[in-house]
Amino acid sequence: MALQLLMPVLAWKTVKNMISIHRHHLLERHGLFVIILLGECLLSSRKHVTVSAPFVLTILILFAIWWIYFDWKYDSLNLQSTSSAFTFNYGHLVIYISLGIIAAGIGIAPEKNFSYLIPLGSAGFVGSLAIMNWSGKSAQKGRLLYPGASLAIFLLGFSHSWLGPEVLLGTNLLLLGVVALKR
């Protein structure tokens, strides 16, 4: 698996003058895949359609993630350098894994003892945006906002044993805080 993940980097070193980076193609493909994964998160919640507080909070978390991702200023990213392009691509791998963790947490049921999966997936999502924000040398607002929110959500995920479903409320408030402070 490590070799498979390193293969694009190794291939780039051998044929870097023959391959050009198409910025708009990268943005479009990753955005479409994020939409698909957010749809999977919504589909995994279909068996828990009873209107309960945890259900509503998880749907709000998905909307906040959608808003944060698609409101992100991709114009300020420099994807022409290879290191930024690879960080962007591999950072999205973490985003995909994080959205899969959130979908698993929703599918298991937020009311059960697995409510920590949703905050941990949200922390991975925001943390990946933080890494891409720092590596791209972009002028994004809130360069400290993403790492701080990611750390807070991560710690909140480990407090699920004594907080219970309120961990979803805390995650929601932190994600909505990121949305509000970015504006």
Q: For the ranges 90-99, 135-144, 145-154, which has the lowest average pLDDT?
A: 135-144
The pTM for the full model equals 0.82
Q: Tell me which of 60-69, 123-132, 139-148, 170-179 is least confident.
A: 139-148
Which residue, among 15, 27, 10, has the nearest Cα to 85 in the 3D structure? Answer: 27
Q: Which of 46, 42, 77 is nearest to 62 (CA)?
A: 42
Whether 5 is in a domain gets the answer: no
Domain holding 84, by residue range, is: 51-182
Report the alpha-carbon distance of residue 141 to residue 86 in Å, rounded. 22
**Residue 68 is assigned to a structural domain of this protein:** yes
Residues with Cβ < 8 Å from 74, sequence gap 6 or more?
27
Judge whether 165 and 113 are in contact, CB under 8 Å: no
Q: Read off the pLDDT of residues 99-118 as tens digits, 9 standing for 90 and up.
A: 999 888 888 765 566 667 88
Considering only residues 136 and 40, tell me which one the structure prediction assigns the higher pLDDT.
40
pLDDT tens per residue across span 143-179: 677 788 888 888 877 776 555 667 777 888 888 888 7
Most confidently modeled of 31-35, 69-73, 90-94, 174-178? Answer: 31-35
Domain count, the chain: 1
Residue 24 lies in a domain: no
72 lies in some domain: yes
Q: pLDDT at position 162, please? A: 56
Tell me, yes or no, whether 137 lies in a domain: yes
Mean pLDDT of 10-20: 70
Residues 6 or more apart from 29 whose CB is under 8 A from it? none
Q: Does residue 138 fall inside a structural domain?
A: yes
Q: Does residue 86 belong to any structural domain of this protein?
A: yes
Share of the chain above pLDDT 90, in %: 10
In a domain, 154, yes or no: yes
